Amino acid sequence: MTGLDGVYMEQLYSFGDPKRDPEARTISIAYFALIDSTQYEAQLTHEFQAEWFPLKKVPKLIFDHDTMVKAARKQLQYKAALHPLLLELLPAKFTLPQLQLLYEQVFDTQFDKRNFSRKVLSTGLLIKQTDKDKVGSRKGAYYYKLNKREYRTNFQAFLNIIPNAHHFI
């Protein structure tokens, strides 16, 4: 419907409770996608009157759409606990603090900086770059790139990054 191409998208669930719409029996097939909203904001806002909200600030939605949003977040957490798919949301070069912030937002929790870095680097999925991002501090944080060959052959490598991953699975 949106015309977006090249984004990670998968079918989430079919919602068909007879009481979900008081007017008529309605069945909805829900999907979730991983996109950089800044790249598509104008297109989705102007063409489809879509609005972006942080998950903690989503307004009350009609029918059972709140349930859909909660199901999508749970599925995203499940997938992210098993696979490094959140890397799809980062630029080609990123810092470990950027990656950690993304995981903290998805899982709505704080991770210990040293443990997170150690576990992420142990996967072998990241290639350290020589340049640094000095915006956040004088010392700066090294940039990393995804090792695409390792990513494809070792997709399961993120299993140990999320503490208590079984809670999300």
DSSP 121: H
pLDDT at 137 over 80: no
Domain with CATH 1.10.10.10 in the chain: 92-169
Maximum pairwise Cα distance, the chain: 60
Q: What is the pLDDT of residue 168?
A: 56
* Greatest mean pLDDT among 12-26, 40-54, 75-89, 133-147: 12-26
Task: Say how far apart CA 131 and CA 125 lie, in whole Å.
Answer: 18
Q: What is the pLDDT of residue 166?
A: 55
Domain with CATH 3.90.79.10 in the chain: 1-82
CATH of domain 92-169: 1.10.10.10
Tens-digit pLDDT profile for residues 34-46? 887 777 777 776 7
Smallest CA-to-CA distance from 144 within 132, 154, 158 is with 132
Question: In whole numbers, what is the pLDDT of the chain averaged over residues?
Answer: 84
Q: What is the pLDDT of residue 87?
A: 84
CATH of domain 1-82: 3.90.79.10
Task: Say how far apart CA 164 and CA 160 lie, in whole Å.
Answer: 9
